[in-house]
Amino acid sequence: MTVELEDYYAARASEYDRIYAKPERQDDLRAVERWLAQAFAGKSVIEIACGTGYWTQFIAPDSGSVLALDASHEVLAIARSRVTAPHVSFVIGDAYRPPEGTAPFESAFAGFWLSHVPKARLGEFLEGLHRTLAPGAKVVLLDNLYVEGSSTPISEEDAQGNTYQARKLDDGSVHRVLKNFPSEHDLREMVAGIATDVVYRRWRYFWALEYACSREAPFTDSPAASPTTAAR
């Protein structure tokens, strides 16, 4: 069993897109793809943990520009071959330390990432992300709802309330992966004081949280610094 998320996704790179072939999720996927395609129209976007670029391919066409980062060279190689538009860049990076010193981004997207953030690091993640954004920038977080029979069962829960799955790869290796499933209440509490215009959307298999980043709020005093619950 390995616990390193980056190692797990590097090993899973060539298998990753099978998750998007689950028959029961196809209607939801088409609906989310249509919605996301227009959500960043004309805006510069920073995409966190872009993986194989599955969502980048829908966001990119109408966006002003996309800087997509991920910790794994293996998934980025697939993303780069999938999305070749000149206004899209893929870079190796850490979701907890997104690039600073670039022009503030007008929007941010993270697909199926928040669920892998330990509860104790949610504030750190959001603070780092918001530092790269212009005041009022639009943030969209997209992730899984837990659906019995479709989701990988939860195998354990730690003292902080993080949940874990035992995931098997084609080579037979089994990986202990932190995967949280936050409720709407958890998500709203997470961004209370640091966001405005908060909208929670829900499909059968997925949820999305959309908000405007209000940078004026001091992160250390916000509930995001000590959220109670988080999120495949």
Ligand X SMILES: C[S@@+](CC[C@H](N)C(=O)[O-])C[C@H]1O[C@@H](n2cnc3c(N)ncnc32)[C@H](O)[C@@H]1O
Restricted to residues 129-188, the positions that interact with ligand X (CB under 6 A) are none
For position 111 contacting ligand X by CB under 6 A, the verdict is yes
Contact 145, 219 (CB under 8 A): no
Distance CA 62, CA 170 (A): 36
CB atoms within 10 A of CB 201: 15
For position 71 contacting ligand X by CB under 6 A, the verdict is yes
CB atoms within 10 A of CB 87: 13
Q: Which of 40, 54, 125, 207 binds ligand X (CB under 6 A)?
A: 54
Distance CA 28, CA 30 (A): 5
- Sequence-distant (≥ 6) Cβ neighbours of residue 180 within 8 angstroms: 114, 115, 116, 117, 119, 162, 163, 229, 230, 231
Binding range to ligand X, per CB under 6 A, among 69-77, 81-89, 181-189, 222-230: 69-77
Q: Between 105 and 112, whose beta carbon lies closer to ligand X?
A: 112
Q: Which of 5, 122, 195, 230 binds ligand X (CB under 6 A)?
A: 5
Q: Which of 63, 65, 72, 107 binds ligand X (CB under 6 A)?
A: 72
Q: Between 115 and 229, whose beta carbon lies closer to ligand X?
A: 115
Smallest separation, CB 46 to ligand X (Å):
12
CA distances from 229 to 60, 62, 117, 171 (A): 31, 34, 11, 33
Q: What residue ranges bind ligand X (CB under 6 A)?
A: 5-6, 9, 49-51, 54-55, 70-72, 75, 94-96, 111-113, 116
